[in-house]
């Protein structure tokens, strides 16, 4: 994996990271089908140079964090673990909002316990659609947690442009994690603002959502044709396209497969030529 890095909360990380969302069971709920394989994927990622791992206490719930702890603790020097707060799960695995300041604090404390950390390097505030909690109150809670030393940097997730601008006026923003890929650029305005401000942008679902039967990214004819011509896979083309959009794009493709992990990591070496740039959506 190339050594190209970008700063995340002031710490250099390789631009190809790893997302732990796919390590728990189906629907990001319950234990993994193969625990040993999940642990092996995490260890191989770090061995290959990954130093940015994205997780959340509500992945499982708790499962992703427990796997990270078992596989990697004591954590290697330079590893940046990024978690998020603002959501929860019920006993059936339904996704719930956990948006109130006290719930954000409880989420950070749960991450500290399950990951066995004194400070989570970066925590993303995930804004839940339709939340009735004022955004400024949420940011105030995150700033308080940072000032107490429980988190190192404040990130944002699932925010619109107005919220991003408001957050930047109140506190440094470590990163923004919004949906963005070849087929979904509905958040282009936030992406452009982050690029202009040199704030790391971490697209979730970089290869399209795993929750849909048909994948609009990997099924895009131009992606398939470009992959064939460059002797790459559609996933590698889609990831390389994202890396090319800005030097501050950080990727966290997730997988529970060692083969897919190696495929994703190799995308950092793929150079899209002019023909590919012209063929792919712009």
Tens digit of pLDDT at every position of the chain (282 positions): 666 999 999 999 999 999 999 999 999 999 999 999 999 999 999 999 999 999 999 999 999 999 999 999 999 999 999 999 999 999 999 999 999 999 999 999 999 999 999 999 999 999 998 999 999 999 999 999 999 999 999 999 999 999 999 999 999 999 999 999 999 999 999 999 999 999 999 999 999 865 555 788 999 999 999 999 999 999 999 999 999 999 999 999 999 999 999 999 999 999 999 999 999 987
Question: By three-state DSSP, how is residue 189 classified?
Answer: helix
Q: Which of 59, 75, 164, 180 is catalytic?
A: 59
For the question of residue 75 being annotated catalytic, the response is no
Please tell me the predicted confidence (pLDDT) of residue 213. 59
Query: Domain 9-279 adopts which CATH fold?
Result: TIM Barrel (3.20.20)
Q: Could you give the CA distance from residue 128 to residue 158 in angstroms, rounded to a whole number?
A: 7
Q: Which residues lie closer than 8 Å to 252 by C-beta, 6 or more apart?
A: 17, 18, 19, 52, 53, 54, 202, 204, 206
Please tell me the predicted confidence (pLDDT) of residue 2. 62
| Pair type for strands 11-14 and 5-8 | antiparallel
- Provide the residue ranges of all domains of the chain, joining segments of one domain with +: 9-279
Please tell me the predicted confidence (pLDDT) of residue 66. 98
If we measure between CA atoms, which residue out of 216, 147, 213, 154 comes closest to residue 179?
216
């Amino acid at each position: 994996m190339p050594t190209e890095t970008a700063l995340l909360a002031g710490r250099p990380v390789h631009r190809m990271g790893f997302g732990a969302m796919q390590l728990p069971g189906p629907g990001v709920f319950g234990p993994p089908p193969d625990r040993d394989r999940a642990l092996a994927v995490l260890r191989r990622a770090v061995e290959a140079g990954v130093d940015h791992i994205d997780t959340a206490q509500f992945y499982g719930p708790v499962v992703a964090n427990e796997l990270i702890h078992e596989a990697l603790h004591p954590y290697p020097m330079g590893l940046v673990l990024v978690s998020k707060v603002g959501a929860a799960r019920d006993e059936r695995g339904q996704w719930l909002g956990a948006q109130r300041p006290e719930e954000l604090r409880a989420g950070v404390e749960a991450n500290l316990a399950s990951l066995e950390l004194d400070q989570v390097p970066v925590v993303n505030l995930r804004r839940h659609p339709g939340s009735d909690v004022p955004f400024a109150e949420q940011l105030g809670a995150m700033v308080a947690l940072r000032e107490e030393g429980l988190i190192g940097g404040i990130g944002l997730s699932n925010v619109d442009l107005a919220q991003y601008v408001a957050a930047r006026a109140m506190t440094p923003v470590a990163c923004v994690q919004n949906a963005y890929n070849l087929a979904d650029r509905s958040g282009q305005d936030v992406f452009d603002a982050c690029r202009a401000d040199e704030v790391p942008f971490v697209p979730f679902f970089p290869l399209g959502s795993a929750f849909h039967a048909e994948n609009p990214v990997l099924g895009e004819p131009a992606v398939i044709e470009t992959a064939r011509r460059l002797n790459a896979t559609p996933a590698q083309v889609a990831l390389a396209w994202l890396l090319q959009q800005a030097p501050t794009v950080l990727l966290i493709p997730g997988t529970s497969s060692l083969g897919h992990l190696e495929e994703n990591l190799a995308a950092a070496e793929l150079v899209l030529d002019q023909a590919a740039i012209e063929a792919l959506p712009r």
